[in-house]
Structure 1
Amino acid sequence: MTMVVILLFICSTTVLGLQLALVMRSYMYLLQSREDDFQMERRAIILSQAVLLIFQTIIADSVLVRFEGIPGGKADNWDRNFSSSGCLGSSIYAIYCLYFRIFSGPKPISAEERVYPAFVTFWTCTIIVNIYCTGMIVGRICSVQQGWRPPSICSLRDLPQRTRLHLAKRIVVESAMIYTAASLSAFITHACESPAVDITYLAESQIVGIAFNLILIRRSPSPTQDRESELCVGRCFNPKTNRSRADATVGTTDSVDTPDASSNASEGMIDWKE
């Protein structure tokens, strides 16, 4: 999962850099009246952006489809088919839209009305798949939380489960908000004529992506807290340092270690009978 976040961050950064390069080169070529050279370089830059955007979409949707059945078990066939078809459809429409964008010169937005349905379908499919898969994941996490019983005092296996569920739900919700905002920003950029607005929306989504990466790599709890938790659990599980000592009265102990107390009590009953 960390590698996926790193790849998406690298792709988004590269797309932003290519967009800045495209705008700067366009101004330079327009000032020098070299439109033919600009067309060739423009197509190369847009093709690179297309590959990166499709790569980002496929990775993000594939991760959502892959983890849709976790932690509530395997997803239903209908859910998996819907998510997979939506991911495939959004990728196909991305290729279709970007093909028209590459091989049609820099024309006014009114001359590209035939591409509007493709753009709308692509971004609608992407956003629907994202929201649907995210809702399924959060719903399954909530169902597990509702059916989850509090852990025992001395359980290494059950102790961190509630924290992990809260963290998983928080990361999923935050990533869904960021991915949806980035998709909406990308759709808005296709309807904007001004390069300044285009770069502004890309920069905003990039800043949000940086914030999300900082959330993912935020510092873990302090070593002191980890040490205290380990000592607390260790006292519960170490039989040498935490033995139950039976008193004169059968059944009373000095510790809360239930298994040792019951065994000592049973031994006391046997001695009393003898």
Structure 2
Amino acid sequence: MSVHFPVDTAQIVALFLESVFYGIYLATFVGCIKVLIWQNDWLKSFGQINKTMLFAALAMLVFGTLDLAFGLRNNIDAFIRFQGDPEEHFQDLSNWLNVMKMVCYVAQTFIGDAILIYRCFIVYGKNYWIVTLPSLLWLATSACGAMVCYLEVSIGTGALSQSRLKPFITSMLSLTLATTVITTSLIVRRIWKVESKISHFRSGDSSSPLNRVMRILVESGLIYTTTILILFGTYLANSNAILGISDSVVQIIGITFNLIIVNTDAARKSIGSQLDPSQAVVSANGTLPLHMLNIHTEVSVQRHPPDTASSLSASSKRHDALEKPNWSP
């Protein structure tokens, strides 16, 4: 028994919600692009730009914009051009607009999960074993999403909850939820281990930029996880509210991606001042390349008096150094 929420009403609410989140997305996108291509009031050189993250940001912009545009066109067709009950138009799952909106959702999920796995891969020093399980989950999610898009083309009139689609949609939601939780937990665990090692080298009572990064990742992960759980719940309840939630998720994926880059850039700018200069040498060739989360500072901790730091930096391999992960925006 489905919750009473007419599909035509749900489509209008979905368009409104997605428009709100799209506005938020655009605001965060501007900050994200500024971090990726701008440095010290000048454009970065081509070699300095993180091309993986820039491509992902632009791809998310394309799919987020297309999803909103398809939603607007779908409403115009149903309420203005369609000769009949708008509900009949919206229930035609094989309509190219409905199919393309599903393609945008799957593509946005594909990119978001891929970038999360990539972050985890770099944070753990490009360790393939660490991301083996998340990568398999990601591939399975993509396969389920592709099947949903394929079935929609030929399914005709109906609802997303019908038997042919339900196994693939529930699997897709479950797998992307598992991927997000596992990869976010692995990244936070890695950063926490680093923070616990360098905390006693921090000067004064200043707050840790690594703690800020952990908080950013946890908050972003919770935002996405919560929306997926709500989406899953509305789908299992056979409620048309899934339309508004799924449209919002397309934009929320991009929002969380942008927020991580913008906020970790702020952490990058403050990380140098958080370390005691008498005990830590910050250089461009040390042992802590933090380029995965846009923290490009590298730190090599020297357990020697500050007056000998320069002579020791040339032979840093002979001294104790903290094990650090690789990060990037």
SS of equivalent to 1:67:
helix
Quote the residue 2:284 is aligned against.
Answer: none
Residues 1:100 and 2:100 aligned together: no
Aligned CA distance change for structure 1 residues 70 and 166 (closer, same or farther; 3 Å): farther
Superposed counterparts of 1:14-163, under 5 Å: 14-32=66-84, 43-75=95-127, 77=129, 79-108=130-159, 112-151=162-201, 162-163=208-209
Quote the residue 2:245 is aligned against.
Answer: 201
Structure 1 residue 34: Cα displacement: 11
Q: What letter is aligned with 2:172?
A: F
Structure showing the higher helix proportion among its residues? 1
Aligned CA distance change for structure 1 residues 189 and 4 (closer, same or farther; 3 Å): farther
Kept after mapping to 2: 8 A contact 1:97/1:115: yes
RMSD of aligned Cα (Å)? 4.3
Q: Which has the higher contact order (CA 8 A, sep 6+)?
A: 2
Distance between the aligned counterparts of 1:167 and 1:56, measured in 2? Answer: 26
Distance between the aligned counterparts of 1:31 and 1:194, measured in 2? Answer: 26
Count the aligned residue pairs. 221
Identify which range, 171-180 or 126-135, moves more after superposition: 171-180
Identify which range, 51-60 or 127-136, moves more after superposition: 51-60
Structure 1 residue 26: Cα displacement: 2.4
Quote the residue 1:269 is aligned against.
Answer: none
Residues 1:178 and 2:223 aligned together: yes
Structure 2 unaligned spans of 5+:
1-52, 282-304, 309-329
Superposed counterparts of 1:158-169, under 5 Å: 162-163=208-209, 165-169=210-214
Percent of pairs with identical residues: 22
Kept after mapping to 2: 8 A contact 1:90/1:125: yes
Distance between the aligned counterparts of 1:11 and 1:190, measured in 2? Answer: 22
- From the CA coordinates, give the structure whose radius of gyration is larger: 1
Kept after mapping to 1: 8 A contact 2:145/2:172: yes
Residues 1:259 and 2:307 aligned together: yes
Quote the residue 1:11 is aligned against.
Answer: 63
Structure 1 residue 4: Cα displacement: 2.9
Structure 1 residue 183: Cα displacement: 3.2
Distance between the aligned counterparts of 1:209 and 1:126, measured in 2? Answer: 12
CA deviation vs aligned residue, 1:84-130 (integer Å, no higher than 9, x gap): 111110000001122222321222566x1232121111110111011
SS of equivalent to 2:131:
helix
Aligned CA distance change for structure 1 residues 186 and 29 (closer, same or farther; 3 Å): farther
Structure 1 unaligned spans of 5+:
154-159, 238-256, 261-274
Aligned CA distance change for structure 1 residues 200 and 62 (closer, same or farther; 3 Å): closer
Identify which range, 20-29 or 112-121, moves more after superposition: 20-29
Structure 1 residue 18: Cα displacement: 1.8
Identify which range, 201-210 or 120-129, moves more after superposition: 201-210
